Amino acid sequence: FTVASGFKAGGYSAYTGPSDLAGFGPQRSWTLEAADATTVPASNLTYTARAYASRVTGYQIERSFAVPNSFSVEYLVVNAGEARVLGFELESVWQATRDVTVTVAASISHATLQDFTDPFTGSNYSGRRAPYAPTGNGSLRVDYRPASGFFAGAGLTWTGTTHYDEQETAFLSQRAYTLIEADAGYAFARGEVRLFGRNLGDKRYYSSITPGVGHGTPGTPLTWGGEVSVRW
């Protein structure tokens, strides 16, 4: 069992015109976590299950806000009075054989704004999902890795739906997506040669979206590469 407290200092936003909105307060959090870590020798299985709950006051939201009835956009940090986060995580490693390892990780989370008002429109968004917080994450990876010689591995990573504004606007949200990766190579006494591929399905997604200007940052596309490492 773990009890933790966090603090993030307040400050001033440099890219906003209204002086009364430039300053923002600190963010404070309290988190309660319960976890169970278990090893099952007979099955060569190790896992950790973890549940947590956090209460955050002064939750800092950094993004651009479109000013109503105007062409201007203000980029600043504002404080939500309170936010709450509930989540569950599972991490597991299975040593299927001496050289084969299966790794699984999954998490679900629910981050909710309990008290937040848009500084420009005055609209209240209490009860909405907190921006930039995905609904969950997951991964699955299988590796064949002997002490030396040829090796290979492949994996999947999943990212849940992410909203980038508190209104949960559809075109300012990234739907859940899955990426595929793989690598293979040859290991020798003092190093290895490895080829790798990322986002093998060439999935198109946004790694970030800026609401006020409708700007999106594309995620990394299909990528191939090679690597040589030597130890001495």
Residues 6+ apart with CB under 8 A from 136: 106, 107, 108, 109, 158, 160
Q: Is pLDDT at 230 greater than 90 in this prediction? A: yes
- How many CB atoms within 10 Å of residue 192? 15
User: Cα separation of 81 and 78, whole Å?
Assistant: 10
Residue 88's pLDDT band, with cuts at 50, 70 and 90, is very high
Is residue 82 within 8 A of residue 56, CB to CB? The reply is yes
Q: Please provide the size of the chain in residues.
A: 232
Write down the pLDDT at residue 215: 86
Is residue 51 within 8 A of residue 33, CB to CB? The reply is yes
Least confident of 60-69, 113-122, 152-161: 60-69
Is residue 158 within 8 A of residue 137, CB to CB? The reply is yes
Write down the pLDDT at residue 142: 98
Query: Across residues 190-217, what is the average pLDDT?
Result: 92
**Token digits for 49?**
């299950």
Question: Degrees (nearest 5) of the Cα angle 82, 8, 55?
Answer: 30
Tell me: the pLDDT tens digits for 6-40?
999 999 998 888 888 899 999 999 999 999 999 99
DSSP letter assigned to residue 123: -
Q: Is pLDDT at 120 greater than 90 in this prediction? A: no
DSSP letter assigned to residue 145: -
DSSP letter assigned to residue 43: G
Q: Is the dihedral of CA 199, 110, 162, 21 positive or negative?
A: negative
**Token digits for 127?**
């009860």
Residue 118's pLDDT band, with cuts at 50, 70 and 90, is confident
Give me the residue label for tokens 């001495």: 232
